[in-house]
């Protein structure tokens, strides 16, 4: 994987005047194995209370990355897509934070429906990863890590992705995401 810092096209609706991105990095990922490895490396900088939002089209690699996060955090259970159960909790096997993996794809009502999942209760002691969370979970915390996963177009290799890591809020001011 190589790091770069090109401008990110398109406005991020989760960014407001009060919570500007404070750390950005763009990585090239060449395979599902590298996406999983990116998750393992990200796990090293995550701590209880972190909210990670994953944005990308179907098949972009959101669950693959989360599987790597689970491995890096040392959690119990296979990390699979929670599409039909909405959320899964994976307790730590190593004394670290639990991984709460949420798929908000089928939730349409924003934070009201998300409140039924009690993520605000889980967040302080867990790492919460939300796929398809745009416009639904930003109010949980001012600090979040937003990963935007884009397929590389015009290439014959369907596994290539560009991943933009955007740290939002004071929590991420201390992290150099380009080093992940």
Say if residues 32 and 64 touch (Cβ distance below 8 Å).
yes
Looking at the DSSP assignment, which residues form a beta bridge with residue 53?
130, 146
Tell me what the mean pLDDT of segment 22-51 comes to: 95
Which pLDDT score is estimated for 20? 61
Task: State yes or no: pLDDT of 17 exceeds 90.
Answer: no
Q: Report the mean per-residue pLDDT for the chain.
A: 82
Q: Please write the tens of the pLDDT for every residue from 48-69.
A: 999 999 999 999 999 999 999 9
- For the segment 116-148, what is each residue's pLDDT rounded down to a tens digit? 555 655 668 899 999 988 887 888 888 999 999
- Whether 98 and 124 have beta carbons less than 8 Å apart is answered as no
The per-residue pLDDT for range 146-175, each reduced to its tens digit, is 999 999 876 556 889 999 999 999 999 989
* CA quadruple 117, 133, 46, 99: dihedral sign: positive
Q: How far apart are CA 59 and CA 64, in angstroms?
A: 9
- Architecture field, domain 22-179: 3-Layer(aba) Sandwich (3.40)
C-alpha closest to that of 66 among 178, 163, 179: 163
Q: Hey, where are the domains in the chain? A: 22-179
């Amino acid at each position: 994987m190589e790091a770069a810092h090109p401008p990110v096209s398109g406005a991020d609706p989760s960014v407001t005047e009060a919570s500007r991105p404070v750390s950005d990095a763009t990585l090239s990922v060449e395979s599902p194995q590298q996406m999983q490895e990116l998750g393992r490396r990200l796990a090293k900088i995550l701590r209880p209370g972190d909210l990670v939002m994953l944005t990308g089209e179907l098949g972009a690699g959101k669950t693959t990355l989360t599987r790597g996060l689970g491995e890096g955090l040392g959690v119990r259970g296979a990390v699979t897509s929670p599409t039909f159960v909405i959320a899964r909790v994976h307790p730590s096997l190593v004394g670290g934070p639990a991984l709460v993996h949420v798929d908000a794809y089928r939730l349409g009502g924003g934070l009201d429906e998300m409140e039924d999942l009690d993520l605000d209760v889980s967040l302080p002691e867990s790492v919460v990863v939300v796929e398809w969370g745009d416009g639904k979970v930003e109010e949980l915390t001012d600090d979040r890590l937003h990963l935007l996963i884009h397929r590389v177009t015009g290439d014959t290799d369907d596994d290539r992705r560009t991943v933009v890591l955007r740290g939002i809020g004071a929590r991420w001011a201390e992290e150099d995401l380009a080093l992940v």
